[in-house]
Every structure is written in structure tokens, then in C-alpha cells.
Amino acid sequence: MRYWLIANAKAGDGSRGQSFWLHHLRQAGLEDVTVCDLGDSAWQAQVRPGDRVLVAGGDGSVSRLADVCLERDATLGVLPSGTANDFSRNLALPEDPDELCRLMVSGSPRRVDVAWLNEHLFLNVVHIGLGTLPTTQASPRLKKWFGRFSYLAVLLRKLEMQRGFRATIEHPEGRVADRWLSIAIASGAYFGGGQRVPHADVTDGRLTLAAIRHRSLTKLLSVLLITRFTGRPPENDGTVMPLAVTGCRIRLAQHKPVTADGERLGKFKDIHLTTTPQALSVIGKPH
């Protein structure tokens, strides 16, 4: 078994880079580790089944490496170094770097779900509409100052400007057409820098969809803040439509920007979302 350390030098505030994690991995007893840069793909062909690929980066970096691990039948280890680090929360990873590195070296692999937007793998969440703004408009300076709360800051700043979009959501139990402010589809239990998805689990084989209907600014702010601080939307309100499905299709009236795990994917008009249960080997303690 070979250990790989793949570091994204641009992740987070830069304090948890390659040298930081190498030090703690050596403290955990791992001396033989192959170090590569995230931007260099030549190493990927050398990964063998059972290898451990440790990624030091944010959720976007983790998703990119998950695709490699899935293809090469390797095990993914996450060293949280980004702004949100939502996928690591699904794995109940220790916050202490020494304890975390000991787990990376000696922990037993577990298996978690992976999700797909058309042919693109994602682990956390896909956003359409308002939810794409934190990714597309949160500046590096804002992220540095406010960390994971920079996403909420951008949402609050842009909320009044949004007019919504028309889309039809088709799922195994029916279809719903409406004007939406935002549609989010989560594979795991966290998104947006620690926002909890009620009843969701990264091993349950389901996607959790939350579609927010267009409402007045006052109403939207109220729902947003209640959801943010209680972990669930107001009941019997109608503003948020929650669904738990194994797959769905979203038909948009016009092409809209789409993000997945904090990365821009481009503009789409027809989206298929599916999940592959427990397909990815990881180091951690899935809830």
C-alpha cells in the first residue's frame, strides 16, 4: 500500500498546506509518502488499488480526488484545509491534526455514497440559482476575513436582487413546476460551511433536495435565518420544498449557472441527478 499526499496550495488561507500536513503525518509515524501537487495529473496513473490518497484542500479538491480514487479503486483520506470543509464533517474527522493524521495512517476504510450531476461526480451539494452566488461572488479577501460565514454574507447581500427562475423538478413520486429562488441537491449531511441537512446521511443512498420558492424579501430572510440557526426550514410554510430521492431530473426554462462542491460547472438547462450507494472508500467515521 502506498500513501499519497496531494495538496492544493490555494485552499483556505494557506496555513494548512503541504509542509503542515507532512509534519503531522511524520509525527503519526508515516515517513514514506509520495507528495504531488493538485495541478499535476501525471501521478494519477501510478495509483494502485488499496493505496491511500490524502488530499489537503477544500471540498472542490476532495471531489476531484474522489473521482481518481473511484477510478483507481483507492481509498480517499481528507485533510481539511479549505473554507467550508463540509465533506470532512460527514466523516466525523478529529479536529486535532495529530489525531487526524494517526487516523489517516491506521484507520480502517469505510464506504460512502457518491452522487452524479449528469457525468460529473459530487460529494456534497449542487446549487442552482441563489445558492451559486457564494461560489461565484465570494472574493478571496471575503473568504479570508469571514471564513465559512462569507457564504452567508454573500447570500444576504444579493438576496434582494434575485427574481427567481422557472424550473420543473421531476422525481419518482411526481413533478413540480414553479418559480424558484434556489434549488440545492445534497448527497451528504452538510453544505454551506456546516449547514446541517436534516435526516441526511452520506451512506443512505439518497439525495436530499431543497427547493426554495420565490417570496418577499422579508419572508426569505426569515426562512434563511431560521434554517441557518436551527438546521431545518419552518414547517408548514411552503417556502421550502424538501425531497429525499434516489434521483431526479430538473428542466430549466433557461440555461442557468450550476455549481457542485463549491466549483463552477457552467450553465445547464437539463440536469440529471443520481447517486451510487457506498461506492467510495474513505478513511473516517461516517454518521
| Torsion sign across C-alpha atoms 167, 201, 246, 112 | positive
**Structure-block grid coordinates of residue 175:** 413533478
What is the reported pLDDT for 79? Answer: 96
Domains, the chain, with CATH or none:
3-107 (3.40.50.10330), 120-278 (2.60.200.40)
Measured between alpha carbons, how far is residue 71 from residues 3, 48, 88 in Å? Answer: 17, 10, 21
- pLDDT score, position 230: 67
Q: Which residues pair with 195 in a beta bridge?
A: 191
Helix axes 18-27, 97-106, angle to 10 degrees: 70
What is the spatial distance between Cα 97 and Cα 72, in angstroms, rounded to a whole number?
27
Count other Cβ atoms within 10 Å, centred on residue 276. Answer: 14
Question: In one letter, which amino acid is 154?
Answer: V
Q: What residues does 213 pair with on adjacent strands?
A: 180
Which pLDDT score, from 0 to 100, does residue 134 have? 55
DSSP 8-state class, residue 159: G
Predicted model pTM: 0.82
Predicted pLDDT of residue 263: 87
Q: What is the pLDDT of residue 150?
A: 41
List b or e across 193-228, with b for residues whose CB sees 16 or more CB atoms inside 10 angstroms: bebbbeebbbbbebbbbbbbbbbeeeebeebbebbe
How would you classify the pairing of strands 109-117 and 125-129? unpaired
Contacts of 15 (CB under 8 A, 6+ apart): none
Q: Cβ neighbours of residue 265 under 8 Å, at least 6 residues apart?
A: 117, 120, 258, 259
1: cell is: 500500500
Give φ, ψ of 110 to 5 degrees. -120, 170
pLDDT by residue for the chain (287 residues), tens digit each?
999 999 887 776 778 889 999 999 999 999 999 999 888 889 999 999 999 999 999 898 999 999 999 999 999 999 999 878 889 999 999 999 999 999 999 999 999 999 999 999 999 999 998 877 655 444 444 344 334 444 544 555 555 445 789 999 999 989 999 999 889 999 988 877 777 787 788 999 999 998 988 776 677 677 677 666 666 666 777 788 889 999 999 999 999 999 998 889 999 999 999 999 999 999 997 55
- How far is Cα 65 from Cα 59, in angstroms, rounded to an integer? 10
> In one letter, which amino acid is 262?
G
